């Protein structure tokens, strides 16, 4: 799968917005993890995330995710996320009609 991935086919916004299918995400993730210099080929620059559980990148051009533009993304254990300044997660969830979840202890 990773060897079949074409970086030109990357639709990062689709991955962030969960519009991409599993094979598309897996192909990208395997390529990103296994291709030497993959981040550089995409033009991304790793920056300090300030969180040991995230890897943060600055993008060479803006992407549009959830109706907002950004040049910053992070990867967590669950996948890519857009860094959206000036918007609170609960407000965006309401706007997208995403139900709030609570964590039980």
Q: What is the chain's pLDDT, residue by residue, as a tens digit (105 residues)?
A: 556 788 888 999 999 999 999 988 988 999 999 999 999 999 999 999 989 999 999 999 999 999 999 999 999 988 899 999 999 888 898 999 988 676 665
C-alpha span between 60 and 44 (Å, rounded): 6
Check: pTM over 0.75? Answer yes or no: yes
Compute the distance between CA of residue 24 and CA of residue 36 in angstroms, rounded to an integer: 19
| Domain limits, the chain | 2-95
- What CA–CA distance (Å, rounded) separates 100 from 80? 20
């Amino acid at each position: 799968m990773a060897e079949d991935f074409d970086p030109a086919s990357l639709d990062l916004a689709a991955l962030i917005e969960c519009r991409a299918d599993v094979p598309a995400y897996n192909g990208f993730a395997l390529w990103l993890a296994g291709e030497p210099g993959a981040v550089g080929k995409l033009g991304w620059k790793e920056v300090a995330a300030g969180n040991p559980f995230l890897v943060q990148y600055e993008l060479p051009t803006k992407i549009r995710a959830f109706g907002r533009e950004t040049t910053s993304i992070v990867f967590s254990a669950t996948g890519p996320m857009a860094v959206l300044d000036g918007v609170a997660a609960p407000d965006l969830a309401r706007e997208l009609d995403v139900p709030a979840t609570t964590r039980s202890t």
